[in-house]
Structure 1
Amino acid sequence: MDLNTITAIHPARHRDDLAALGAATAPLAGGSWLFSEPQNHLTSLVDLMAFRWPSLTVLDADAEVPADAGALEVASTCTLAELAAMPDEHGWPAHPLFRQCCTALLGSFKVWNVATVGGNICAALPAGPMTSLFSGLDAEALIWRADGSDERTPVAQFVTGDGATVLREGDVLRSLIVPRTSLEAQTAYRKIALSPLGRSGAVIIGRLDRDGSFTLTVSGATLHPEQLRYDSVPSAEVLTHDVEAIETWFTDPHGAADWRRAVSALLAVEILEELR
């Protein structure tokens, strides 16, 4: 769709260029959502792709934050196509999960080649597969605040509701940082939709860390990611009870709340058995 109210596009090559962001000026990355519907309140865009951030970076021992050594930093401007094609060079057990979650966005190859990881998360749609992926891996979102400060927050807390995030006007999502412990964990993935090519009704991710702890992330079926954490692998009965006790199920054309609760509990037990 043409955005006929846009009169200027400003390339962002330095962080100072982000000062142009405001109520009438939005950040532009892939634009797959931005150009999908009218944006009559906008008069200009700031092109984040001009930063030319490396899409995928494995942080070394000299990382700015020592705990990040061995972590994977994914730029917010990384496309789904780049993420799905990430080579398995490090032997991470969690590697298959990246492509699995990308396939939950049933777009054409054209969409995959322009849609960005950050754009999908910032859109804050309950069915956003990048929110599911990075929440399930306990990744942190690096936020460039408008006041010049940096802030890191768990991706599972970055999305606060349908279409809502912790971002304020002028803020930009810089990257996602996946800890080494999550990359080295065993993972299992389930997705269900009402039709073969429909939007996700539920996306469930299980993660079994090397220390024996178990994390289940429920998304797509809830208004924001919900996580259940256990020091060891729980029983099917306990996990089912805890999934059914989640309170943020919702109803829309892609599924009723009670259906979402029921199928999420079933898929959670499948994941439990797979990882056990």
Structure 2
Amino acid sequence: MPPDEEVPEMAEASAAATATASRRVVTVYASSSSHIDRVFFEAAHELGMLIARRGWVQLNGGGRTGLMGAATDGGVQAGGAVDAVIPKMFHKVNESGNLRHVTVTEDMRDRKQGLLDRCEAIICLPGGLGTLEEAFEALSWRQLGLHNKPLVFLNVAGFYSGLETFLRSTQEAGFISERMKDAYMFCESPAEAIDFIENHEPAVVAKSDLHTIHSGGMLGHIRELQSDWEVAAQTSERLSQHAETSRK
């Protein structure tokens, strides 16, 4: 049976969202590359199976290849539900045929927002630039207080060990907020990642921020902040020009 689809925009109250309202949704970030070591495929497949066996819904980028496809296959083979958010540029091109529900977005930006908005937690499998972009954007928004969702880096075969060292040293140097120390975790196995998410206590986020997130989306909130900064910058520039004119 073909998956349900929504084209072209994100739908806030989709049938899939309603059906899974009482089930935990875990977003999986993962590489779509197939030219990688088998150990990563095995970990991705196991992760998909474990998410399904917990009764959770897996949400990913919808690709049929690479670790993304392996995680989807693992979830489906274990009898689980796998949904996807995919941009229309990839729709029908690299889309897995095993997805329960597909939401098609206009672009990559809306896809990233959909993957983050609709989940309770994130697991980041090994990946390249696209995977890291998704992970760092989620962490950046967490630091801004825009959500309280934990992110787990699945450190298969030490893949993320260098990143773990980098983030630790960056935090020690003061470039990352102290409150971020519990926002992410590096786990060595899929089972450890699942256990961490199951036992994670969400951080407290201001109600005003949560209202903004749920009513207008995180991207809208960031655009509001950018607008405020632009107004402040323009005001500062006018004051500087006035002061310069006064001196003349």
When normalised by structure 1's length, the TM-score is 0.27
- Which one has a larger percent helix, Structure 1 or Structure 2? 2
Higher strand share: 1
Q: Which has the larger radius of gyration?
A: 2
Task: Tell which has more relative contact order, 1 or 2 (C-alpha 8 A, sep 6+).
Answer: 2
